[in-house]
A = this chain, B = another copy of it.
């Protein structure tokens, strides 16, 4: 591991990864052992390995699998669910499943096509839906925090994209922990945010975890994969770049680089009249606006056809 100037044998590596995760959990005050935790499980190496690590560290974590109805010729969603179920059954862990088609009558792809929000890619619809469902499920079932398997490569790629375009509000809200700072909003934490993707792949392999190896069929050509490739180039030329890029950003933030006034604008508190979830603007939240466009609601039907 050139990035850490460290070489470990299998046994020490398998101890080292959970130690790093535990350090991250404590460093960013993510959660403690008594907390009731919900992990977003995709069936991929990161979320299943994180579940394994947290189980080994003695945390009590339930899984939530969100069925997106993506096939892409590789039974993507069905196969992902099977890996998640297999993992949970083997370890006697509790896996909840929310199926988008059963719940809302449409797959992510159908939603994206109908609402014209995914002409080229359904990714924004998918992200919006997952955020909505995760928060709703965690609220209804009184979880303290939602955990996701974002690793360092994911976080660095998101940061790179936000930096290239200098979107202030995104920069202000990227962090290892997103506080539950609005009523109805559940705390979110990313315990793998300091672990490289290849370290996670090695961990899954060495622990014998079987997971879905296909990328989502819709990820091909995505901006985040492009930014990952650029960062891989930087990392291969100067090992440690991804980690120092991410950590120096967090340090600069702690040092007060960003103006809190920009933050306050974003932090306004509203509740969606449709689903009751917190939203950043008055009126229906982005998810409910997507689900039922305004022209399909009877009292707004007169505006049908207007721009």
Q: What residues make up the interface of A, taking CB atoms closer than 8 Å to B? A: 163-168, 171, 226, 230, 233-234, 237, 241, 244-245, 248-249, 251-252, 255-262
Q: How many copies does the complex hold?
A: 2
CB distance from A265 to the nearest CB of B (A): 10
Determine if A166 and B248 form an interchain contact, defined as CB atoms under 8 angstroms apart. Answer: yes
Residues of B within 8 A of A237 (CB): 226
Given the complex of chains A and B, what is the CA–CA distance between A261 and B163 in angstroms? 21
A168: chain B residues within 8 A (beta carbon): 252, 255, 257
Most-contacted residue by chain B among A237, A241, A249, A259 (CB, 10 A): A259
- The distance in angstroms between the C-alpha atoms of A49 and B261, with both chains bound, is 42
Q: How near does chain B come to A170, taking the closest CB pair, in angstroms? A: 11
Contact partner of A262 (CB less than 8 A), chosen from B226, B233, B256, is: B256
**Known contacts A237-B226, A244-B165: does B258 contact A257 (CB below 8 Å)?**
yes
Residues of B within 8 A of A261 (CB): 256
Which residues of B have CB within 8 Å of A258?
257-259
CB-CB under 8 A from A260, the residues of chain B are 259
Report the Cα distance A116→B245, complex, angstroms.
28
Bound form: Cα–Cα A165–B167 in Å: 18
B residues in contact with A166, CB < 8 Å: 245, 248-249, 251-252, 257
